[in-house]
Amino acid sequence: MRRAPFLPHCRGLQRRFASAQSQLDADVVVIGAGVVGLAIARELGLAGRQVLVLDSGPAIGTQTSSRNSEVIHSGIYYPPGSLKAQTCVEGNALMYKFCEQYNVPVRRTGKLLVATSDQQLDQLESTRRSAAANGVELERLTPGEIRELEPEVQAVAGLLAPNTGIVDSHSLMTELQRQIEEAGGMVALHSTVEGGEVGGATKRLAVRDGPPGGETVSLTCAAVVNAAGLWAQRVSRCLLGVDPRRVPPLALVKGSYFALSGCRPPFRHLVYPVPGGGGLGVHLTLDLAGGARFGPDTCWLPPGTDPDALDYSVDPGLLPAFQAAVRAYWPGLPDGALQPGYAGLRPKVAGRGQPAGDFLVCGPEATGAPGVAALYGIESPGLTASLALGKRVAALLAGR
């Protein structure tokens, strides 16, 4: 399910910098115009810093930020004390406040987390305890109470997460960009960072302006934030001054979605199975237009897979597995109602079979370069956590 792309707001780096009033082209360059990069740039702009956001794509948020479930998570899955847990819980509150203040479409739907067999009860209880340790209280549900909330859902037990919701991620990113530009910042598209030297007080970036083979321009700035998502490791390794020993490995997971077609979804809440296999399971999410989708599944890609070479198409051969996963909690799923939707990539810092990795938010001390921050492994709940991550990165660059 893909939407129309954003119209570019910048049409070439050289024209944008022709009017620069300072010796530096920008105070801070943020690499990556996904939701996290935009949230960081907004926070820096609000702090009075002149920000330039660079993105290699034709529009903002074309990768992970627009290929997910658009869910505002509550913070129930993540290990207590982890950065995922902290920024998800903080980001949940910030996201609802932001959306309500700036009229970004959002809905607090609530979520049912369900166990469909007795074998899953221990995992369900483990999730409840983890949520409680993160400050998120969940309501236990009996099978009868589940049916009262969602008559079509079959489960032996469940949990209700009332603060889970859905957001229009495209409207959210558009509003973040508006605020960046209102604060005097800029967003430059079709702008690929190909190298640079960032070890000194003045950072110099080599940026290709346009498609492959296009002209390369040199930009100067006082600070750099690498929020390049799928390409964060690649970007860090091309910047002289960043300690390559501190760049974590990249593991990629492809997740596909199927859309509900030909019938109206009979649900008011989001419905999730117990998590496992490196993801949150094939769950039901609603969108603000009244549609429903199921996914993502978890397909680990071979080590060394190039994100640029990935095929984002959804394999129709996945249909039987999706039907079985969905019918475990919605036995009434009609035949033929699932159609291939869209797919996305999740960047992880831990590989298959390893303990789940946390967000890595590295300030200057961790990157080894003064004035340089980098973020790795920003997968789910990155959308929810984006505003909280923006505050953390701004504090790191300010030396707090």
Per-residue pLDDT tens for 232-242? 999 999 999 99
pLDDT interval class at 29 (50, 70, 90):
very high
pLDDT at position 22 over 70: no
Contact yes or no for 341/1 (Cβ under 8 A): yes
d(CA 71, CA 33): 19
Residue 78 Cα to chain centre, angstroms: 15
d(CA 358, CA 378): 8
Q: What percent of the chain has pLDDT over 70?
A: 94
pLDDT value for 15? 43
Q: What percent of the chain has pLDDT over 90?
A: 87
In the chain, what are the domain boundaries? 13-66+170-249+356-397, 111-162+251-348
Contacts of 279 (CB under 8 A, 6+ apart): 253, 255, 296, 297, 298, 346
pLDDT interval class at 209 (50, 70, 90):
confident
pLDDT at position 23 over 90: no
pLDDT value for 8? 38
Contact yes or no for 109/164 (Cβ under 8 A): yes
Q: Which has more pLDDT, 34 or 213?
A: 34
pLDDT value for 31? 98
Sheet holding 106-107, edge to edge: 71-72, 165-167, 106-107
- Would you tell me the crossing angle of helices 35-46 and 382-397 to the nearest 10 degrees? 40
pLDDT at position 216 over 80: yes
pLDDT value for 213? 75
pLDDT interval class at 333 (50, 70, 90):
very high
pLDDT value for 13? 52
For domain 13-66+170-249+356-397, which architecture applies?
A: 3-Layer(bba) Sandwich (3.50)
pLDDT value for 314? 97
Amino acid at 143: P
Vertex 203 angle, CA 200 and 204, to 5°: 125
pLDDT at position 14 over 60: no
In the predicted model, what is the mean pLDDT of residues 26-45?
98
pLDDT digits (tens, 9 = 90+) for 351-392: 999 998 999 999 999 999 999 999 999 999 999 999 999 999
Q: Is the dihedral of CA 296, 301, 307, 309 positive or negative?
A: negative
pLDDT at position 61 over 60: yes
Name residue, tokens 């989708």. 293
pLDDT value for 11? 42
Contacts of 26 (CB under 8 A, 6+ apart): 50, 51, 52, 186, 219, 220, 221
pTM: 0.93
pLDDT at position 3 over 50: no
pLDDT value for 214? 80
CATH class, domain 111-162+251-348, is alpha beta
pLDDT value for 310? 84
pLDDT value for 277? 62
Q: Which has more pLDDT, 125 or 275?
A: 125
